[in-house]
Chains A and B, each alone.
Chain A
Amino acid sequence: GIQVEQSPPDLILQEGANSTLRCNFSDSVNNLQWFHQNPWGQLINLFYIPSGTKQNGRLSATTVATERYSLLYISSSQTTDSGVYFCAARDTGRRALTFGSGTRLQVQP
C-alpha cells in the first residue's frame, strides 16, 4: 500500500513565525487531507487537497501530485496552532486513508 512520510517530526516556533510542513507519498493519490489534532485528541479537517493550492486564513496547502508531495504552510503562528499535524492519503486501490506519523508543533509565546 501507499507510504506517507512527514517532516519534520517535531517543530518549535516562536509566536508570529512562519513554518512549512512536508508530506511525501509513494504513489498516485485520489484523496489527500491535512488534519490538526488538538490537545484533546480531536482531528480537525484543514484541507482536502489531492492537487493544487488552497488557502484558509493563515493556513495554506499545496499538493504537487506529479512529484508526490504536499506542503502545509502556517503563517504568523499562534499558540493555538500547537498540536500534531497529520497528512493522510488514499491511493486508487483502497478506500481508507493512510496516515503519516505527524509533525508535532509547539508554538511558544
Chain B
Amino acid sequence: GAGVSQSPSNKVTEKGKDVELRCDPISGHTALYWYRQSLGQGLEFLIYFQGNSAPDKSGLPSDRFSAERTGGSVSTLTIQRTQQEDSAVYLCASSLDPTPADTQYFGPGTRLTVL
C-alpha cells in the first residue's frame, strides 16, 4: 500500500512569506506527527495529532507555526512570516495504533529553503 506522502518535495520562499506544507498519512492511521530536521538541531518533534483529541503542540518553536488535520486524515503545517532559521526538512509520520506500541512511518519530507 501507499506510504506517507508529502508535498511539495521542495519549497523555496522569501523571508517574510507564508508557506503551507501538506502531509497525507497512511490510510487508516489515526496518529500523525510533524518533525523537522535541521543542521543545527537534528530531528525534533513539532506537533502530534491523535483522532479527535486536542493536538500536542508542545514542540512548535513559535506562534508562527500552526498545523491542522482535517477529517482525521490530511494535515497541513503552516509557517507564517518565514525566517531563515526555518530552513529545514519537514517530516511527517503516521502510526496505526494509539497505544504505546506503535511504529511511526515517515514520509519523504519537504525541504524548505528561506532566502
Q: Which residues of A are interface residues toward B (Cβ below 8 A)?
A: 30-31, 33, 35, 40-43, 45, 48, 50, 86, 88, 90, 92, 94-99, 101-102
Question: Does A43 contact B106, Cβ atoms closer than 8 Å?
Answer: yes
Question: Does B43 contact A86, Cβ atoms closer than 8 Å?
Answer: yes
**B103 CB–A CB distance under 8 Å:** yes
Q: In whole angstroms, what is the CA distance A95 to B93 when docked?
A: 12
Question: Does A96 contact B43, Cβ atoms closer than 8 Å?
Answer: no
Closest partner residue, chain B, to A31 (CB atom): B100
Query: Residue B104 contacts which of A30, A41, A97 (CB distance < 8 angstroms)?
Result: A97
Number of residues of chain B lying within 8 A (CB) of chain A = 25
Main secondary structure of the interface of B (DSSP, over half): strand
**B25 CB–A CB distance under 8 Å:** no
Question: Does A99 contact B104, Cβ atoms closer than 8 Å?
Answer: no
Task: Collect the chain B residues with CB atoms within 8 Å of residue A94's CB.
Answer: 56, 58
B46-68 vs A, CB cutoff 8 Å, 1 = contact: the mask equals 00101000001011000000000
Q: In whole angstroms, what is the CA distance A41 to B111 when docked?
A: 10
B20-32 vs A, CB cutoff 8 Å, 1 = contact: the mask equals 0000000000010
**B108 CB–A CB distance under 8 Å:** yes
Question: Does A30 contact B100, Cβ atoms closer than 8 Å?
Answer: yes
Q: In whole angstroms, what is the CA distance A45 to B26 when docked?
A: 14
Q: In whole angstroms, what is the CA distance A96 to B46 when docked?
A: 9
Question: Does B48 contact A35, Cβ atoms closer than 8 Å?
Answer: no
Task: Collect the chain A residues with CB atoms within 8 Å of residue B42's CB.
Answer: 99, 101-102
Question: Does A95 contact B48, Cβ atoms closer than 8 Å?
Answer: yes
Task: Collect the chain A residues with CB atoms within 8 Å of residue B89's CB.
Answer: 41
The answer to whether residues A96 and B100 also contact, given A35-B106, A102-B42 and a CB cut-off of 8 A, is no
